[in-house]
Amino acid sequence: MAKSNSQPQAEKRLQQPFAKKLLGWLKQLLLMLLLLTLFSAVLDIWRGRDIPKTNLPNIQATTLQGEQIDLLAMSHEQPVLLYFWGTWCPVCSFVSPSVNILADSYPVVSVAMTSGVDEKLQRYLKHKDYEFVVINDPHGEIAKQWSVQVTPTLMVIKDGELSYYTSGFTSLPGMWWRMLLA
């Protein structure tokens, strides 16, 4: 009988170190997430130093879908997510599905940078089942006007001004928050 009483005590002793280890791991994970967020914010500020905040260049173009776009006019109705990306960009392959989901609820204008001719880009979009609006920027001219050098780059444009800017990987919740707060 002594053994049966000692087993629960032994289990408690084993669980306590594990619980302490788990708590330590969670603290480290939270610290790493905080540092990553801080690093990402500083990197966005540094990368975005040349991005215009006001007096933005307008994008007036015809999309691959045949739709006429006037970005600044759209932004006066509600916030618009402006998404610079490329078919060749590995990070964009993780961000684009989230942009596609967001496009069901918010206006999205995407600019495909140096991604080839229209027909090739349309095949790519069809293959990936992307339905967001795409303007082809085969020579990167629109990206240059916006001082975009890194893909993916996401901007929230509200009332003709830049509300939010980020580059690199961005999660769907991050996009939602930026759109809601704009």
Classified as helix, coil or strand, 44 is helix
Q: Rounded to an integer, what distance in angstroms lies between the CA atom of residue 135 and that of residue 23?
A: 48
Rounded-to-integer distance, Cα 118 and Cα 90, Å: 20
pLDDT at 39 over 80: no
The CA distance from 37 to 100, in Å, is 24
Tell me the average pLDDT of the chain: 86
Q: Which residue type is seen at 155? A: M
pTM > 0.85: no
Instruction: Please report which confidence band the pLDDT of residue 32 belongs to, taking 50, 70 and 90 as the band edges.
Output: confident
Q: For residue 131, what are the CA distances in angstroms to 58, 68, 97, 104, 148?
A: 23, 16, 10, 9, 23
Residue 72, CA distances (Å) to 63, 81, 110 in order: 15, 11, 14
Mean pLDDT, residues 66-93: 96
* Whether pLDDT at 138 is above 70: yes
Averaged pLDDT for residues 49-76: 89
